[in-house]
A and B are shown apart, each in its own frame.
Chain A
């Protein structure tokens, strides 16, 4: 009998969630067959069978299991003949059930408040009729009967409480009051804790400025094709912003610092976290030593991280650390926002959408492609002077990108001082 344990996946990871079983109880598996998908705070990974045999599952989908805990056993005394695998002795009915559950993880993970039993959510005959007529599913009703069974009274109370049908019948009212309960994914819970901590444990405030994007747009327009041919990536905005931030960070080290107890850690490097929206939620992979990268290298790094994020391929290492974050709400059309810190970092830059606006230039109203930029920062480490100086510097570098080409101090760089 082989015990399959939850492997160590990262230094800070002590617990993972079983997001999906790929095998069923009693299945025969071969070595290296994928047993299940586990979800950690930051990434999803698969657990494969170390040996062939018959599987006995010891955790359900949605369960949180500690690293090192036994998640299933493999009876290696059972011989798995080729072609034997798919054919197990499970009854049809038993086979079907878990598959359905996979389709609707909501069913599985909705935590009933009563101790669960095989009959949790099972309605009495009268309750079942009433539920059918009001198009209610067992998940929408709190079963107060023995073992979580749904009584007629439970349905009545749910209806009184305004629980609404799950699906709208054709021809009935075309508005809905559907609410859905889903267990937060581990990633979502991590994000939630993280953000709340950032909000509660920092003295956060935001400073704003606006950037005339004419110069950058002109460069992009002029060099778009050439850049892509030369480097194989598109010239986007992120390279400009990242580079501008790196310059400004090196000039304002507090913005690139982190509080650690009673000490402040200053960084001579710029590890820039890029907020990436993925199907699983927001992740912030890191571009290391961004200050050392060329425009093309930055674009390539951003693209790689975005693709990996979209495909759930980001590793834990790629998401750990970071000294400063750039978040681009502009891609979704945000005009202005106050980004929230990516703790334990002390500052975050929010990019927004570019909008043509009339502005005054030399006493004349002209129309310019403008972007509001926001810097949220922790006042504990960063003074107003530094934050504003930082943001103004970013603005200047973007409006006159020539400064970007050289970096903080051309002489120092030249002499490698």
Chain B
């Protein structure tokens, strides 16, 4: 039996990053992956392929709607959906290949097969074909991630009623895509198909889309996406869905309780994700999951069994790749005897629609609820020279700062490249910077990031310069 200092189960961004950090710290490390390609949901059926399609569809959208304004005339603009999907597959393959390379480079032994506990120190790997083998582990890191949630009253045939996984590999552009759930995953994929010409209807139970983010972001995003032709039905409770031939009918109750129905050719169920621990045989290691299926961990991400850790989507906190990565590093360093720490408040949330949505820290609603006195500075992109040049006039940056100290408490942005720009806010908040601190730092002109400076000026004392 091979024995390892650390056995990591799951090769998603949490798992493979944990494995690399363990190897860097001199530990003999094994990585177990059930699927053939490494990288988990993120690389294979999540962040990366969706971004590939978002970028492709955005180009198409620009070509169709904006090129003319730029003075570029196209005749015979045509969508080659197959090629678009092909490119996406190549991106995924390259990324996954990159992870394999990193495993080799760091001398991490990769085992393909279903990992499961035999006992607290033994993990079995059962490949699809061939014999199972057992690995002896001083430490185990569970990084098995999550799967899309299903609604109990809707049967997903994975052809017409699909999850995000299938939505990334459709063979055609839907004519009418009905989206159940106005969260991040649904809106990103809905955007892809809306840009490619599909009619998209979003049916959302809450009164707003991206309802866990600052309310103003949801409002602004609704406004922009409506312009792209996406229809929103908020406060609609889906009651069922059925497939008949090529038609999907989704039944719902509207806010008045009246029954309504939507007919389309595809229905994407994007109502969140569930932690995935199936087949792990956690009980053999002495670990049980909570009522939500998550593995309980302490602040060092230790399970009830000291030498077994769990990270990413299988534990509490937002299901985000970058959160899992941070946790992977923390666990590796903790095993090595170091004492790293994660400030969960400062893990940014991002939505890759266009305009992008990104946020970090407290929302306005949270601050009000907690009774914290705050100031608000908002700068709209329509006042940004850079945004005018690129025709990205939608959105804004909103900075919330403590009334007494001016310390930045939350930054909420919707606009071009917001996902990249949120990093500045994270840095500022890690150092507990004040709005005026950022306002006094030079931001290159003309850039989108100037909007951050202007919003901070506005928060400091209502003295934005360009608005």
Contact = CB atoms under 8 A, between A and B. Distances in A.
Interface of A: 89-94, 117-119, 122, 124-125, 128-129, 132-133, 145-146, 149
B372 interface: yes
Q: Which of B343, B370, B371, B405 has the most chain A CB atoms closer than 10 A to its own CB?
A: B371
Given A118-B407, A119-B407, A122-B432, 17 more contacts: A90-B371, A91-B371, A92-B370, A93-B370, A94-B371, A94-B372, A117-B405, A117-B434, A119-B432, A119-B433, A125-B430, A129-B340, A132-B339, A132-B340, A132-B341, A133-B339, A145-B431
Given A118-B405, A118-B432, A149-B432, A133 B372 contact: no
B339 A119 contact: no
Interface of B: 338-341, 343, 370-372, 402, 405, 407, 430-434, 437
Contacts of B343: 125
9 contacts: A118-B405, A118-B407, A118-B432, A122-B431, A128-B341, A129-B338, A129-B339, A129-B340, A149-B431
A119 B343 CA distance: 16
Contacts of A90: 371
A124 to B, nearest CB: 6
A122 to B, nearest CB: 5
Contacts of A133: 338-339
Contacts of A124: 430-431
A72 B341 CA distance: 39
Nearest to B405: A118
B437 A146 contact: yes
A90 B372 CA distance: 8
A89 B437 contact: no
B339 to A, nearest CB: 4
A185 B430 CA distance: 35
A145 B402 CA distance: 21
Nearest to B367: A91
Contacts of A122: 431-432
A145 B405 CA distance: 17
A93 B339 contact: no
B339 A91 contact: no
Nearest to A133: B339
A132 B434 CA distance: 25
Contacts of A118: 402, 405, 407, 432, 434
A233 B371 CA distance: 58
B332 to A, nearest CB: 13
Nearest to A120: B432
A12 to B, nearest CB: 37
Nearest to B437: A146
B431 to A, nearest CB: 6
Contacts of B338: 129, 133
Contacts of A117: 405, 434
A92 B341 CA distance: 23
B373 to A, nearest CB: 9
Q: Which of B340, B372, B431, B434 has the most chain A CB atoms closer than 10 A to its own CB?
A: B431
A132 B343 CA distance: 14
A124 B431 CA distance: 6
A271 to B, nearest CB: 51
A123 to B, nearest CB: 9
B245 to A, nearest CB: 56
A136 B405 CA distance: 26
Contacts of B434: 117-118
A222 B371 CA distance: 72
Nearest to B371: A91
B431 A119 contact: yes
Contacts of B371: 89-91, 94
A133 B405 CA distance: 30
Contacts of B372: 91, 93-94
Nearest to B337: A133
Nearest to B330: A129
Nearest to B430: A125
A410 B43 CA distance: 107
B341 A129 contact: yes
A354 to B, nearest CB: 55
A105 B407 CA distance: 24
Nearest to A124: B431
A91 B370 contact: yes
Contacts of A146: 437
Q: Which of B339, B372, B434 has the most chain A CB atoms closer than 10 A to its own CB?
A: B339
A94 B430 CA distance: 19
Contacts of A149: 431-432
Contacts of A91: 370-372
Nearest to A135: B339
B265 to A, nearest CB: 49
A166 to B, nearest CB: 14
A124 B340 CA distance: 12
Nearest to B404: A118
A143 to B, nearest CB: 11
A133 B433 CA distance: 25
Nearest to B402: A118
A247 B323 CA distance: 82
A117 B340 CA distance: 26
B448 to A, nearest CB: 25
A172 to B, nearest CB: 12
A94 B405 CA distance: 13
Nearest to A125: B430
A91 B372 CA distance: 6
Contacts of A132: 339-341
* List of 3 A-B pairs having minimum Cβ-Cβ separation, nearest first: A118-B405, A119-B432, A132-B339
A171 to B, nearest CB: 13
A149 B431 CA distance: 8
B460 to A, nearest CB: 14
A105 to B, nearest CB: 21
A140 to B, nearest CB: 16
A119 B370 CA distance: 21
Contacts of B431: 119, 122, 124, 145, 149
A284 to B, nearest CB: 44
Nearest to A90: B371
Nearest to A145: B431
B441 to A, nearest CB: 11
A89 B368 CA distance: 11
A218 B405 CA distance: 70
A2 to B, nearest CB: 23
Nearest to A94: B372
Nearest to A122: B432
A89 B371 CA distance: 7
A8 to B, nearest CB: 32
Nearest to B333: A129
Contacts of B430: 124-125
A12 B142 CA distance: 70
B194 to A, nearest CB: 39
A312 B430 CA distance: 44
A129 B433 CA distance: 19
Nearest to B338: A133
Contacts of A94: 371-372
A169 to B, nearest CB: 11
A128 B330 CA distance: 13
A211 to B, nearest CB: 61
Nearest to A118: B405
A119 B404 CA distance: 13
Q: Which of B340, B343, B405 has the most chain A CB atoms closer than 10 A to its own CB?
A: B340
A89 B405 CA distance: 19
A357 B238 CA distance: 99
